[in-house]
Amino acid sequence: MQRRLFTEDHEIFRDAFRKFQEKEVTPNHAQWEKQGIVPREVWRKAGEQGFLCTWMPEEYGGSNADFLYSVIIAEEAARVGNHGFALSLHSDIVAPYIWSFGTEEQKKRWLPGCVSGEKILAVAMTEPGAGSDLASLRTTAIRRNGSYVINGQKTFISNGLLSDIVIVAAKTDPNAQPAHSGVSLLVVEREAKGFKRGRRLEKMGLHAQDTAELLFEDCVVPQQNLLGEEGAGFVYLMQKLQQERLMCAVGAQAASEKVLDDTMVYVKERVAFGKPISKFQNTRFKLAEVATEIEVGRAFVDKLIREHMAGEEIIKETCMAKYWITETHKKVVDECLQFFGGYGYMLEYPIAKAYLDARVQTIFAGTTEIMKEVIGRRMGL
């Protein structure tokens, strides 16, 4: 499909980011997977070259670029299997909370470091007993002597160990009714008293991305670290989920396209019963099905990118995309891996890593089941 989203300037940027990944990411990613974390210096290099928070206004160190630059980074990262260096999480999911809801003083204090890579971001919503159900949060943040005292535990936090700035969802009014009206967002900085990192979690996939537990034991943060208004945290989180889920779909779509490309090369080279397996009807039929689903997904995702950039409310549609594109990605990887035979089960082959990394796509940023629930409600059901 010929895409008409991008200008010549966008493609120049794409080429520059590809070269950055060829130099800084691809040669090192296997080592990062063994270590379970990405070195901080790579974040700084990305910042120096303008690959973090590209949309940020120049006064905070950014390039004031449009959303398509973020799309390009997500697509190119997915195409090289870069699932450890969580650029989109930092730039397009967490940083917008500070930009949209922070005071001018907060923006000047935190955003330049986010652009330069000196400050790495994370968002802490999920708890051991509360995932998609944010109203069930048990972490509290109680005002005391001009500060907030946070107590609770978070889990499955991406960039959990690296992060210098963590946006924490906590209940500032544990007795509020309805329960979600008591949720607020607080910014916890690395050096905050009572803020502790738990263990790095061992995952099925995404091995290079550090995912950790975060512990708050009488953690004291100044009252001026409240992001936006007290009690408005749930509303803020809901406002930003449209872009978060769209970014998930963008990455999963690009990853599916890459898997198909790799499989097309392999089936033409692998010989069985005296001919390339691409010449068997089953191969052609299966890959025709996969290619069709990918093409449909591309048309849908690009449509949503345009609508999101136009400022339209597409909450239902981005939930559809997050659900359908990530479920399709799981199916694509599974179907394609079969053509590799035993080699598809070997971790030295990218298809095996893609299979492991794909599984979480239908879980994070809202499970498939939650997406369907939101869609149903938006349909008036």
41 burial via Cβ count (<10 Å: 0-12, 13-18, 19+): exposed
Count how many residues are written for the chain: 381
Euclidean distance between CA atoms 80 and 86, whole angstroms: 13
CA distances (Å), origin 106, targets 41, 47, 185, 233: 25, 20, 13, 17
Residue 368 region by backbone torsions, left for phi larger than 0, else alpha for psi between -120 and 50, else beta: alpha
Phi, psi of 237 (to 5 degrees): -60, -40
Helix-then-strand count for the chain, H and E: 12, 10
What residue has token string 């900085």?
A: 189
Helix (H) or strand (E) holding 170: strand 165-171
Cα of first residue to Cα of last residue in the chain, in angstroms, is 35
Alpha-helical regions (H) of the chain? 8-20, 29-35, 40-48, 67-79, 87-88, 95-101, 104-116, 233-269, 281-309, 315-339, 350-358, 368-378
Indicate which residue of 213, 244, 257, 293 is catalytic.
244
Determine whether 307 is an active site residue: no
CB atoms within 10 A of CB 126: 17
Euclidean distance between CA atoms 67 and 70, whole angstroms: 5
Q: Which two tokens stand for residue 311?
A: 């400022």
Per DSSP, the residues of 296-311 read HHHHHHHHHHHHHHTT
Is residue 167 a contact partner of residue 121, using CB atoms and an 8 Å limit? yes
Which amino acids are annotated catalytic? 244
